[in-house]
């Protein structure tokens, strides 16, 4: 859901930046029916989506790695330790980005991401802070999928506005 929503938000501001989705589970699994329905209501068709398993080359090639939970960030950094400085939870990068402000004219995305990294230390990977995790609705009621999609729509829109502000 997050990758699709962010891709749409980014495309509206910056053309078509490359956005990919990967997770920690098995590859080739279709999106749950609830996800397909929730996203169709938002104009996104995920009926043909199949899961992709996160790999070290994927993390190495990414300019920015976004996880929904601490575990996602931990796994990405374990796969590619040098990616630490550009790997965040979605809520975390939005919070840090709103603190430092949107990307400045002429500032490349990598410089903005480094600024968002700030004084963040790798030891943060050992501290559970559920407030920065996006709730995973899997297996829960339909209302949980709606709530997560609403939250992701808000967060991805805010991140797109930070990375590609309208000046």
- The count of structural domains within the chain is 1
**C-alpha to C-alpha distance for 50 and 20, rounded to whole angstroms:** 12
Q: Let me know if residue 104 belongs to a domain.
A: yes
Q: Let me know if residue 121 belongs to a domain.
A: yes
Residue 108 has a pLDDT of 94
Q: Let me know if residue 126 belongs to a domain.
A: yes
Residues contacting residue 50 through CB under 8 Å, at least 6 positions apart: 27, 28, 29, 30
Cβ-count burial 93-108 (b if 16+ within 10 Å, e if not): bbbbbeeeebbeeeee
Task: Reply yes or no on whether the pLDDT at 16 is more than 80.
Answer: no
Q: Let me know if residue 164 belongs to a domain.
A: no
Q: Let me know if residue 145 belongs to a domain.
A: yes
Is the pTM for the entire model greater than 0.85? Answer: yes
Residues contacting residue 146 through CB under 8 Å, at least 6 positions apart: 38
Q: Let me know if residue 166 belongs to a domain.
A: no
Q: Let me know if residue 148 belongs to a domain.
A: yes
**71 is in which domain, residue-wise?**
2-159
**C-alpha to C-alpha distance for 167 and 134, rounded to whole angstroms:** 30
Q: Let me know if residue 73 belongs to a domain.
A: yes
CATH number for the domain spanning 30: value is: 3.40.50.2300
β-bridge mates for residue 30, sequence order: 50
What is the chain's mean pLDDT, rounded? 95
Helix, strand, or coil here: 44?
coil
Once rounded to an integer, what is the mean pLDDT over residues 45-74? 97
Predicted confidence band of residue 82 (pLDDT cuts 50, 70, 90) = very high
Once rounded to an integer, what is the mean pLDDT over residues 26-47? 97
Once rounded to an integer, what is the mean pLDDT over residues 65-92? 97
Predicted confidence band of residue 124 (pLDDT cuts 50, 70, 90) = confident
């Amino acid at each position: 859901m997050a990758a699709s929503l962010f891709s749409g938000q980014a495309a509206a501001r910056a053309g078509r930046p490359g956005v990919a989705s990967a997770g920690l589970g098995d590859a080739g699994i279709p999106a749950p029916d609830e996800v397909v329905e929730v996203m169709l209501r938002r104009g996104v068709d995920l009926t043909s989506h199949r899961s992709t398993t996160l790999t070290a080359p994927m993390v190495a090639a990414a300019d920015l790695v976004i996880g929904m939970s601490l575990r996602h960030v931990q796994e990405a950094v374990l796969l590619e330790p040098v990616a630490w400085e550009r790997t965040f939870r979605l809520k975390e990068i939005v919070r840090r980005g709103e603190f430092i402000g949107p990307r400045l004219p002429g500032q490349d995305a990598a410089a903005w991401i480094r600024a968002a990294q700030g004084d963040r230390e790798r030891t943060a990977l050992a501290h559970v802070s559920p407030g920065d995790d996006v709730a995973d609705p899997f297996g829960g009621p339909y209302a949980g999928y709606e709530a997560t999609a609403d939250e992701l729509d808000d967060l991805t829109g805010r991140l797109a506005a930070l990375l590609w502000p309208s000046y």
